[in-house]
Amino acid sequence: MSNEALKPTTDSPFCSALDLHPWPAVAQFLRPAFLRIWKMKLLSSLVLTCFLLSACSDLPQTSWTKADVTGLWIELIDPVTVESMSFHSEGFVPLTLGEKNGPVTGPVLNWEFVDGRIRITTDDNQQYDEFTLIERDSKTITVRRSNGKIAKYRIRRT
């Protein structure tokens, strides 16, 4: 068999542009360089993907479920008003209400999860308040109250 028969041709499905290069030493040099560039691009893509995914995990939560609320203890962030509540799985919510450096009270009300909102009611089923979640991160919860006002709470325990 002649050496001509062993040379790759452009008709061969197994030939590459590097195999047809007139200087084999250059082809041997280009192949590792091409692989290094490809590996760096792949590694850069993976690092960027991991960064973006980790950034997405810190995004604020804008909806909640009963499981998110059960066991939650929150405290109103306000310079004058004291309001603290803890949502128990049995459906009751002890509140601490009052003014800083003033009188406070501690009623125990009921809570339920209705259409994505927390509804807090008295024993005779009168609505005390209803919270619609606006935003939640690892330290705070921002809600729209039933009167339309926005309130921000510090998460004391989840």
pLDDT tens by residue, 49-87: 655 555 554 555 667 888 889 999 999 999 999 999 999
Contact 121, 110 (CB under 8 A): yes
For residue 26, what pLDDT is reported? 57
Q: Tokens 């560039």 label which residue?
A: 37
For residue 79, what pLDDT is reported? 96
- Categorize the per-residue pLDDT at 28 as very low, low, confident or very high, splitting at 50, 70 and 90: low
The pLDDT of residue 128 is above 70: yes
Average per-residue pLDDT in the chain?
79
The pLDDT of residue 137 is above 80: yes
More confident residue, 58 or 151: 151
Global pTM?
0.61
DSSP state letter for 60: P
CA distance 120 to 111: 4
- Categorize the per-residue pLDDT at 116 as very low, low, confident or very high, splitting at 50, 70 and 90: confident
Residue range 114-143: average pLDDT? 93
The pLDDT of residue 138 is above 80: yes
The pLDDT of residue 5 is above 60: no
Is CATH 2.40.128.370 correct for 66-157? yes
Which positions ≥6 away from 42 have C-beta within 8 Å? Answer: none
Measured in whole angstroms, the distance separating CA 26 from the mean position of its chain's CA atoms is 50
For residue 52, what pLDDT is reported? 55
The pLDDT of residue 117 is above 70: yes
CA distance 131 to 158: 17
Which of 70, 80, 38 shows the shortest CA–CA distance to 158? Answer: 70
- Categorize the per-residue pLDDT at 7 as very low, low, confident or very high, splitting at 50, 70 and 90: low
Sequence ranges of the domains in the chain: 3-57, 66-157
More confident residue, 9 or 69: 69
